[in-house]
């Protein structure tokens, strides 16, 4: 087989890239290790930056997102029973869209089907060959047969546990990591959201977040120990703990119910440099991970896709490799700024086990500055709605 771009990984970054390339008449084959149902069964975040919303528009996949998503022009920050609002439109010309990542992925799959895009599910043992040459190829197993695809480029969109990053020689790769000493216990419940905007809370008992998917589907998170087992948390225990961490007026308004999903996510910051090696380009979680606090995972994957899409269009359209040659530098420049925001927001809003009284006072002072300073709120709003590409 032969194609122009082999996309390893059928998650949101692989599918979005595939759709944008299709719009430019560039062929791709997507290789996904899991089944479609498995990929769509993953519950992930749901705050979309303006950049991702625009890209979905360019890909022609924004109809349902715009019809069902909630436009948010602000968010609430709570601490010590105090709560204040950061108004995005007071500081930027942008808003965010609250729309689940699962729905984004579903819409992208539907769009790929509609274009007859070649997507192989449940493939095994994907191996990237000769990415350092001008004639790379990918081998994989499918229905017990071994297959080979010759191509011009490989987009490694296979997440943190994929093969792509590991294909870059270890002596070429520089990896940066920070592991946070806590996790997020999250639940999904078919209950009306406690508030029409997100509430990020830093309480003495730890962090909490009140988010939503739609008018009767809410998403809540509380900071927990990484060693915790979700099964050891009853729904009642979760709701009781959440109530203790959010402001009294929100605790009173909270509508509870059975959880339909309950899981613990670790908090980690990770970046791999470079994001390109020869004909192989890393996008999304294959190259970087952020703690979920700023909801930047999917959004940063989208900015990678933006730069790679531009570079490949320039290559195939004008025979000019400037865009692909500068891909890693451009993508990483934005990745690091977004990493900083996610680290800053995580450090500000969580309770650290080894936190000293002085550290706690620093958190409080930073929160008070954010509450009282237009400039501090502007800096947060700019990162929250998404830095320009
Ligand atoms: N071969 C084929 N497919 C693979 C392989 C492999 N060896 N390894 C992993 N995959 C698939 C996974 O099954 C998954 O569907 O690659 C896909 C990667 O998708 P994601 O992990 O969702 O990564 P990405 O598309 O970059 O999206 C980033 O996802 O995890 C969230 O917070 C993250 O929001 C961010 C977004
Ligand atoms: C979510 O809705 O899952 C969500 C929202 C905002 C975050 C993280 C997760 O910062």
Q: Rounded to an integer, what distance in angstroms lies between the CA atom of residue 128 and that of residue 280?
A: 9
> Per-residue pLDDT averaged across 85-111, rounded?
97
Nearest CA to ligand 1 atom 19: 11
Mean pLDDT of the chain: 97
**Residue 45 binned pLDDT confidence (cut-offs 50, 70, 90):** confident
Is residue 44 pLDDT above 90, yes or no? no
Q: Rounded to an integer, what distance in angstroms lies between the CA atom of residue 283 and that of residue 306?
A: 10
200 and 78 Cβ atoms separated by less than 8 Å = yes
361 and 68 Cβ atoms separated by less than 8 Å = no
CB-based burial label for 4 (10 Å; 0-12, 13-18, 19+): middle
Count of CB atoms within 10 A of residue 57's CB? Answer: 13
Strand ranges in the chain using DSSP code E only, listed in sequence order: 5-8, 28-31, 47-48, 70-72, 74-79, 82-87, 96-98, 118-120, 124-129, 137-142, 145-150, 153-156, 174-189, 199-203, 206-214, 217-224, 259-273, 276-277, 280-282, 288-289
Q: Rounded to an integer, what distance in angstroms lies between the CA atom of residue 16 and that of residue 112?
A: 9
Is residue 61 pLDDT above 90, yes or no? yes
pTM score, whole prediction:
0.97
> Per-residue pLDDT averaged across 102-113, rounded?
97
- Pick the range with the lowest mean pLDDT from 32-46, 234-248, 293-307, 353-367: 32-46
DSSP state of 55: H
CA within 13 Å, CB half, 149: 26
Atom of ligand 1 nearest to the CA of 283: 26
Closest residue by Cα to residue 248 from 366, 78, 364 = 78
What local confidence, expressed as pLDDT, does residue 42 receive? 82
Atom of ligand 1 nearest to the CA of 290: 32
Ligand 2 site, residue 293, Cβ cutoff 6 A: yes
User: Mind listing the pLDDT tens digit for each residue in 369-382?
Assistant: 999 999 999 999 99
**Residue 43 binned pLDDT confidence (cut-offs 50, 70, 90):** confident
What local confidence, expressed as pLDDT, does residue 186 receive? 97
Distance 185 CA to ligand 2 centre (A): 12
User: Mind listing the pLDDT tens digit for each residue in 143-190?
Assistant: 999 999 999 999 999 999 999 999 999 999 999 999 999 999 999 999
Closest residue by Cα to residue 316 from 154, 153, 156, 164 = 153
Count of CB atoms within 10 A of residue 379's CB? Answer: 15
Is residue 4 pLDDT above 80, yes or no? yes
Is residue 81 pLDDT above 90, yes or no? no
């Amino acid at each position: 087989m032969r194609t122009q771009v082999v996309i390893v990984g059928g998650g949101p970054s692989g599918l979005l890239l595939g759709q944008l390339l299709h719009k430019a008449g560039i062929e791709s084959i997507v290789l996904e290790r899991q089944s479609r149902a498995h990929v769509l069964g993953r519950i992930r975040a749901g705050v979309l930056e303006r950049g991702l919303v625009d890209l979905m528009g360019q890909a022609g996949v924004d109809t349902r997102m715009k019809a069902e998503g909630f436009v948010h022009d602000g968010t609430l920050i709570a601490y010590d029973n105090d709560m204040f609002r950061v108004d995005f439109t007071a500081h930027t010309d942008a808003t965010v869209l609250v729309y689940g990542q699962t729905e984004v992925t579903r819409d992208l799959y539907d769009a790929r089907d509609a274009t007859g895009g070649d997507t192989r599910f449940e493939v095994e043992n994907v191996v990237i060959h000769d990415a350092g040459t001008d004639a790379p190829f990918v081998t994989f197993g499918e229905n017990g047969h071994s297959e080979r695809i010759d191509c011009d480029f490989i987009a490694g969109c296979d997440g943190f546990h994929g093969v792509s990053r590991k294909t870059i020689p270890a002596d070429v790769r520089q990896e940066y990591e920070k592991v946070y000493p806590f996790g997020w216990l999250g639940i999904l419940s078919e209950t009306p959201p406690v508030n029409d905007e997100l509430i990020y809370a830093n309480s003495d008992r730890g962090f909490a977040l009140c988010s939503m998917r739609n008018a009767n589907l809410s998403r809540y998170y509380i900071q927990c120990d990484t060693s915790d087992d979700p099964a050891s948390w009853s729904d009642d225990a979760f709701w009781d703990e959440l109530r203790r961490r959010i402001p009294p007026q929100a605790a009173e308004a909270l509508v509870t119910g059975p959880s339909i999903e309950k899981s613990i996510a670790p908090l980690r910051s990770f970046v791999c440099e470079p994001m390109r090696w020869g004909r192989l380009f890393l996008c999304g979680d294959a190259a970087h991970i952020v703690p979920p606090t700023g909801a930047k995972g999917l959004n940063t994957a989208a900015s990678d896709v933006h730069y790679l899409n531009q570079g490949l269009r320039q290559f195939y359209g004008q025979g000019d490799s400037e865009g692909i040659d500068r891909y890693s530098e451009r993508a990483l420049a934005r990745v690091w700024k977004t990493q900083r925001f996610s680290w800053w927001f995580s450090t500000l809003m969580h309770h650290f086990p080894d936190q000293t009284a002085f550290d706690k006072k620093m958190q409080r002072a930073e929160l008070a500055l954010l509450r009282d300073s237009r400039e501090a709120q502007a800096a947060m709003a700019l990162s929250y709605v998404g830095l320009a590409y």
